[in-house]
Structure 1
Amino acid sequence: MVDACRRLSRRIRLTTAHWNVTLASADGVIIGRPDAWYDDVGLAWEIDSRAFHYGPRDYERTLARNSRYAAAGILVVQTLPARLRDNPEAVAAELEKAHRAAAARPRPPVRIVEGS
């Protein structure tokens, strides 16, 4: 699935994505580890499969992660793997619009944790 994400990201020519990096707030609190991170605009892309996010504890962790993203001012695009496979054009359009929206506001004060 990561390969499909990388191909789509390159095809729509957004800014450089960082893959599976850990993000921290300005004070060092870990926020999350998005599948793709567009650092220049502060946009996270999460591929949230049912297999890893549907169980009760998994779902709780996903909601907590999304709340940390929101509290840090990070815009997030969430995509189901089946949607990426079946309707990549719609996913691409959403990602492009979210990237533009992220670029139109101040970048949140977050950073990539080195060595992640």
Structure 2
Amino acid sequence: MVSRALALDDRARATPLYPVCSPARAVVDAARDLRQLRPVRAIVAEAVQRGYADLTSLDEEIRRARRSRTALIRKAFEEVAAGTRSAPEAELRECLAGSSVLSEIHWNPRLLGADGTSLPTPDGYLADAAVALEVDSQEYHFRPADWTRTLDRHNELSRHGILVLHFTPAQIRREPRRVRRTVEDAYDSRRGVGATARVRVGQPSC
């Protein structure tokens, strides 16, 4: 498909046949042709997670496109900038955003133990109740090694006093109220008994 552009991509890469646009331009242009939020979330999150495009270059491309069919990618970009790194994580963030019970949720935070050692990074974390949130897809756990790695992460967080809650993308999508109620109840119960963990949220790695 050929489409017009008001400005050429100054980050385009030269090839023997023709210039190839930058990943950031490709992400924004692809997202502008989509009409559903979920695939837009997946494209943006995948590009950032795999290091194809950074937040700065994506932001510049979105600003270049202005308001021309950018509502969905602006929302997806906001979610990734807040820390989510996949479409299901963004859906969990949206599911919990309307809660009047929960405190701030740190998305993909850098957690440190009392001695400064790095701990596994959960998808979401409620620091004042030491509750971690994990989105687990069946595809990710298809191999035994992946399942073992998830168990190791769970046990390491639990060893430091953190309660880990697991949800599948299907649960988040089909039963958002039930998921939110589960997180709220766990949060309330942990705060109610004064649950603490010797864990702190560190500064994001550069």
TM-score (norm 2): 0.53
In structure 2, what is the equivalent of residue 56 of structure 1? 144
Deviates more, 1:49-58 or 1:72-81: 49-58
- Cα distance 1:101–1:86, how it changes in 2: closer, same or farther (>3 A)? same
In structure 1, what is the equivalent of residue 200 of structure 2? 111
Give me the whole-angstrom Cα distance separating, in 1, the residues matched to 2:120 and 2:95: 22
In structure 2, what is the equivalent of residue 34 of structure 1? 122
Give me the whole-angstrom Cα distance separating, in 2, the residues matched to 1:98 and 1:53: 25
Alignment map for 1:1-116 (pairs within 5 Å): 1-13=88-100, 14-104=102-192, 105-116=194-205
- Percent of paired sites with the same residue: 32
Structure 2 unaligned segments of length 5 or more: list them: 1-87
1:28-83 alpha-carbon deviations (Å, 9 max, x no partner):
22221111111121110101111223311111110001111111000111101111
2:95–2:172 Cα contact (<8 Å) kept: no
What secondary structure sits across from 1:111 in the alignment? strand
What secondary structure sits across from 1:73 in the alignment? coil
Structure 1 unaligned segments of length 5 or more: list them: none
- Greater percentage in strand: 1
Give me the whole-angstrom Cα distance separating, in 1, the residues matched to 2:137 and 2:147: 11
Name which structure has the greater RCO, CA cutoff 8 Å, separation 6+.
Answer: 1
1:16 to partner: Cα distance: 0.5
After superposition, the CA RMSD in angstroms is 1.3
Larger Rg: 2
